[in-house]
Amino acid sequence: ILVHPLSSLFAKENLNHMSEQQLNLYDRLINEPSNDWDIYYWATEAKPTPAEFENDVMAMLREFAKNKKREQRLRQPDLEYLFESPR
């Protein structure tokens, strides 16, 4: 489980719209790095993303992290979204 609400909010907004390949890339991203904060630093561009994680899902996460809509993202979303049917 990631330590920052950014990843959970990203998942809530995007998982239902991802292709199988993107879901596999996302699964790898959230499960392989040994330090969850690295994902946050990569997404916010505080640190460069390693080549093995540089893909379209990482680009989506970086774009999401920019929060262009200026949404409040102070807490993890409820997990009910995992059980909702796709829109």
pLDDT of 2: 45
pLDDT of 3: 47
pLDDT of 14: 93
The label of the residue with tokens 């990631």 reads: 2
pLDDT per 10-residue tile (average), the chain, 87 residues: 67 92 94 86 94 96 82 54 56
Distance, in Å, from the CA atom of 57 to the CA atom of 18, rounded to the nearest integer, reads 9
Close Cβ partners of 5 (under 8 Å, ≥ 6 residues apart): 73, 74, 75, 76, 77
Domain locations in the chain? 5-82
CATH architecture assigned to 5-82: Orthogonal Bundle (1.10)
Q: How many CB atoms lie within 10 A of CB 37?
A: 13
